[in-house]
Amino acid sequence: MPVRERLLLILPEKDLYEYLCTGCGQSLGEREVTAAEKRMASLRAPRRGGFR
């Protein structure tokens, strides 16, 4: 069954996410994303648009 990620809380040093079952809505787990992890993800992500 697929899950849905829901943002619970935004803090200066991290974001808290919860994973919910799309069928019944039950909470399946949580995840913390630190500011450093968010920076690394933005550096790895391909940039959209712009000039070629």
- 27-34: strand order across its sheet: 3-10, 14-21, 27-34
Supply the pTM of this predicted model: 0.70
Task: Please check whether residue 52 lies inside any domain of the structure.
Answer: no
Phi then psi dihedrals of residue 37, to 5 deg: -65, -40
Task: Please check whether residue 50 lies inside any domain of the structure.
Answer: no
Task: Please check whether residue 38 lies inside any domain of the structure.
Answer: yes
Domain that holds residue 35: 3-44
Task: Please check whether residue 14 lies inside any domain of the structure.
Answer: yes
The domain total for the chain is 1
Over the stretch 1-52, which tens digit does the pLDDT of each residue have? 899 999 999 999 999 999 999 999 999 999 999 988 988 888 887 766 655 5
Q: What is the amino acid identity at position 36?
A: A
